[in-house]
Every structure is written in structure tokens, then in C-alpha cells.
Amino acid sequence: MQYVDTSALLKRYVDEPDSDRSETVLLADPEWVTARHTLIETRRNLARLLPSDVARARALEAFAADWERMSQVELDATTCESAAAIAVSTGARTLDALHIAAALRVGGAGSTFVTFDAKQGGAARALGLVVVGP
């Protein structure tokens, strides 16, 4: 199982630097978990990054299929309290801290965290996650 951050998922639907690398990493372990807010982040960014209605519709369809097969961590009080502590201790941004807290909740230190966000990756490493990405 690997925790998949929004930055890694977006590379599946938007051609950008490291898209091929992200795809290879993601397909190496088909059991993905992410946090509930990934739904919002991904849809928002697809709308922002894909100006063509056809490309956006195709990407949203592919994301919906991926979403159905992923496990999601709910942003309950426990996860949010952990994220608040992570944000304070590491300086991680709010959404990044939520991802890290969710990953720690389901896998604990030593589990795989896939991200292509260098700042988030640094915070995740500091907390013992095995970061795949920058």
C-alpha cells in the first residue's frame, strides 16, 4: 500500500514534468490510499490546468475511476488534530499536513508516501515516512 498525494495523482491526468516517473511509481503498487480532501484538490486543479473541455472531461473521468478504487482516509477529529500538530512542528502547509497526518494514520512511520511536492516531501521525511518523489 502506498499513500498517494494530489501532486502525484495530477501527473496521471496532466502532462507535466515527472508525469512518466509518477505513473511508474503509482503502477508499481496498485493499492493506493489518500485523504478525502484529495477529491477537492484534484478536481480543482484539473479545472485550473486543463482549459479544454474535452481534455478536462477525459481527465475527470480517469480520476473518477481511480477514486473509486482508492481507499480514503476521512478527515475526522483525530486526523485533523494530528495535522495541526504536524503543521506546527514542521511548518507544513495545511493541506500538506492533512495528507501527512492521513498517511501516518493508515501506515505509520516507515510507510510509503508518494508526492512530487518537495516541501511536503521534506516534512513527511522528517516524520519518518518513506517519500517517493523529490
Tell whether the model's pLDDT for residue 103 goes beyond 90: yes
Spacing of C-alpha 85 from chain mean position? 19
Q: Which domain holds residue 23?
A: 2-132
| pLDDT value of position 133 | 86
In the chain, the number of structural domains is 1
Is residue 133 within 8 Å of residue 2, measured between CB atoms? no
Tell me the per-residue pLDDT of 41-57, one tens digit each, with 9 for 90 and over. Answer: 999 999 999 989 999 99
Report the pLDDT averaged over residues 83-103: 98
| Contact status, residue 46 vs residue 56, Cβ threshold 8 Å | yes
List, in order, residues 6 or more apart from 117 with CB less than 8 Å away.
5, 7, 96, 133, 134
Confidence band for 123, pLDDT divided at 50, 70 and 90: very high
The SS3 call for residue 3 is: strand
**pLDDT on residue 3:** 98
How many Å apart are CA 58 and CA 117, to the nearest integer?
A: 24
Taking only the tens place, the pLDDT of each residue in 17-33 is 999 999 999 999 989 99
| 76 φ, ψ (degrees, to nearest 5) | -85, -175
110: left (phi over 0), alpha (psi -120 to 50) or beta: left
pLDDT, one tens digit per residue, over 73-91 is 999 999 999 999 999 999 9
Residue 5 has pLDDT above 80, yes or no: yes
Give the number of residues written for the chain.
134
pTM of the model: 0.95
Q: Residues 56-77: pLDDT tens digits?
A: 999 999 999 999 999 999 999 9
The whole-number average pLDDT for the span 107-111 is: 94
CATH number at residue 13: 3.40.50.1010
Provide the residue type at 21 as one letter. R
